[in-house]
Amino acid sequence: MISVEDLIALVRTYNPRTDEALLRAAYDYGRRMHDGQYRHSGEPYFSHPVAVAAILTEQRLDDATIVTALLHDTIEDTRASYRAVADTFGAEIADLVDGVTKLTNLQLSSTETQQAENFRKLFMAMSKDLRVILVKLADRLHNMRTIKAMRHEKQVKKARETMDIFAPLAGRMGMQWMREELEDLAFRVLNPEARASIIRRFITLQKETGDVIERITKDMKHELEKAGIEAYVFGRAKKPYSIWRKMEEKEMGFSRLSDIYGFRVITQSENECYAVLGAIHQRWRAVPGRFKDYISQPKSNGYRSIHTTVSGRDGKRVEVQIRTQAMHDVAETGVAAHWSYRDGVRAENPFAVDPAKWISQLTEQFDAEEDHDEFLEAVKLEMYADKVFCFTPKGDVVKLPRGATPIDFAYAIHTRIGHACVGAKVDGMRVPLWTRLKNGQSVEVITADGQTPQATWLDIATTGKARAAIRRALRELDRDRYIKLGRELARSAFEHVGRKATDKALEAAARTLRLNNGSEVLARLGSAELTARQVLNAVYPDLVHEEGEEVNRDRAVIGLSPDQRFERARCCQPLPGERIVGITFRGRGVVVHAIDCESLSAYDDQSDRWLDLHWHAGPHPAVYDVTLDVTIGNDAGVLGRICTLIGERQANISDLTFVDRKPDFYRLLIDVELRDAEHLHGVISALDADSDVAAVERLRDPARHRGGGQQTEP
């Protein structure tokens, strides 16, 4: 474990004016709080916070961040409290420690909805003080460096979370070295055979060709000396994961992969960067399409550099990055450069990005997303995508993620331009809207009055901003269609209980549901934001009781202990009258599956979690939803008649989704609330007898068919 003296010495190398007393106090406090605690490896637990602090000294961070690293687990894992830390070290450090604690408690690799909400919390924490995420990234880096002490299952979980979330986040913040190391450490766990294979091939290549890096470095230095340019040159082989990713993307073997070496040239001035570029291109042939000028067009995280790829010795491709020392400092530490110190004072790096500005740019478009899944989609698209730079006809630069289309370009300029887009010209040539844009292209958006967003644009757009704007516009455009569908659903549901869905009844429902008017009720019913049962109960809350004495839904399953609650599995949607079994879940109760559900195979080796269950005898209420897959003729009045048929069978439609529209047929998924298996049979028989119904069947695993992925649990 690093001693307090060694830690202070590391800080003093870049900040001679460091508050040594503060560092000593934090070191002693952390060691005292963690006394008696040990890591999986058997080391004293406090060795971990000290190692995290040492990692942060490599980025020359301020005293508050170093102290936060030393204390980052105290509030979560020891008897220390926020108030105790604030009283001893001040509110700033207490807030930082509390922020890291909250990030640690976020389950970023949990289910989609939880993950989206936790990403929101992650960005909120980052927006308050970005140093919180710097400490968390260093914490994750040290945990990955020492991951071998964990159980294999936990190693895999941590490695996957690192690959999916923390490595891309480090890259998005400009900390490329950390991204590469995190990816490689995760790669070591997730695919050790592939990593070992690449390392073996590297060793073989070195035996066959000698030290290529040393030879090319000497050649570059020689060319720069001839041109009278003073610069520092160094090269390296790319990380195994970086090489593996290239092999996967380009679908080629290691022997055919050429650009596995990277070189950096550090100059004294910006002008010399371009002089170096000229000298290198004079000596070696540039590879077309591999030149990027991030000096004239910096990345949003402050990264500046010139990238080029040339054919070196023996036709080997090598990547060259050219930048000044100040640019290099930002390239190494990214947004963290804002807090870095040099010679005891805050470093005034002209290329360091203001963290507040950076995080506001990153989160601006996410604030408009109300839907969890849409927010998560927007976060992932923006965090994990490389950028392309395109120009408007006036020469303004528009930054977009790689793979963006003219639709994304149009919405990046203004939502109004996006809505009115009918075509685009790229470099003066008319192109389809699904064309993928490339760096440096000039894009002209063609608009027309009266144009409205098309549903197909959602398949074309890639940015979160464009997709969110298109969805909002489509919701408005679909309002009339939703109202019409909602009226049919309401009529069927009300007739089911001998009532009529009059305007007066719908206005009453609107007041109960706190909506503007009856039209809003119908629109939400048609778009599946409300169920017909919710609307019905808003007007006639005593509906169920009028239908007679029925089995209480909470006591519908026999075989449970008094304190156990149950949920129906969404994958098989079991009904009363069908054979069922239960699978126990800690903290969640029992999930009830049909006896023939395919998902049960996942629990074959966990017999202690199985329960023998059966349904309570007697009439059940029509509250058990089942999804029907129905194909109907595309003709006037057919959908209304189908809804009427279902209503006449005393069943309620709770949701309706069109999954395929053809000129002559529609295929739709209808969620119907039923009493039992016999009730289901009656509904299917009635639909099957209709001449305009081409096919009807019960659908298993409806979430997968709606695009939600396979569901084995509720």
- The neighbouring-strand residues paired with 635 are none
Cβ-based burial of 522 (10 A; exposed 0-12, middle 13-18, buried ≥19): buried
**Tokens standing for residue 471:** 């969805």
Cα 577 to Cα 97, 620, 679, distances in angstroms: 56, 10, 10
Helix (H, G, I), strand (E, B) or coil at 423: strand
Give the closest residue to 641 by CA, choosing from 693, 570, 604. 693
- Tell me, rounded to whole angstroms, the distance of Cα 582 from its chain centroid: 33
CB 558 within 8 A of CB 616: yes
Q: Which helix (H) or strand (E) holds 286?
A: strand 285-286
CB 544 within 8 A of CB 550: yes
Give the closest residue to 452 by CA, choosing from 430, 477, 435, 433. 477
Catalytic residue among 20, 58, 77, 219: 77
Residue corresponding to tokens 């570059």: 220
Cα 364 to Cα 353, 369, 373, 408, 482, distances in angstroms: 17, 10, 17, 16, 30
In terms of residues, how long is the chain? 714
DSSP string, 83-152: HHHHHHH-HHHHHHHHHHHHHHH--TTS-HHHHHHHHHHHHHHHHH-THHHHHHHHHHHHHHHTGGGS-H
What backbone torsions phi and psi does residue 548 show, to the nearest 5 degrees? 110, 170
CA dist 20 and 4 (Å) reads: 10
CB 575 within 8 A of CB 676: yes
The yes-or-no answer on residue 77 being catalytic is yes
CA dist 582 and 614 (Å) reads: 9
Catalytic residue among 76, 478, 547, 550: 76
Pairing of strands 232-237, 429-431: unpaired
Q: Which helix (H) or strand (E) holds 468?
A: helix 464-477
The yes-or-no answer on residue 678 being catalytic is no
- The neighbouring-strand residues paired with 464 are none
Residue corresponding to tokens 């778009």: 527
Q: Encode 212-253 in three state secondary structure.
A: HHHHHHHHHHHHHHHCCCCCEEEEEECCHHHHHHHHHHHCCC
Pairing of strands 652-661, 580-585: unpaired
CA dist 208 and 527 (Å) reads: 65
CB 433 within 8 A of CB 423: yes
Give the closest residue to 310 by CA, choosing from 251, 263, 246. 263
DSSP string, 311-338: E-GGG-EEEEEEEEHHHHHHHHHGGGGG
CA dist 411 and 409 (Å) reads: 6
Residue corresponding to tokens 């070196």: 312
Helix (H, G, I), strand (E, B) or coil at 398: strand
CB 696 within 8 A of CB 628: yes
Residues annotated as part of the active site = 76-77
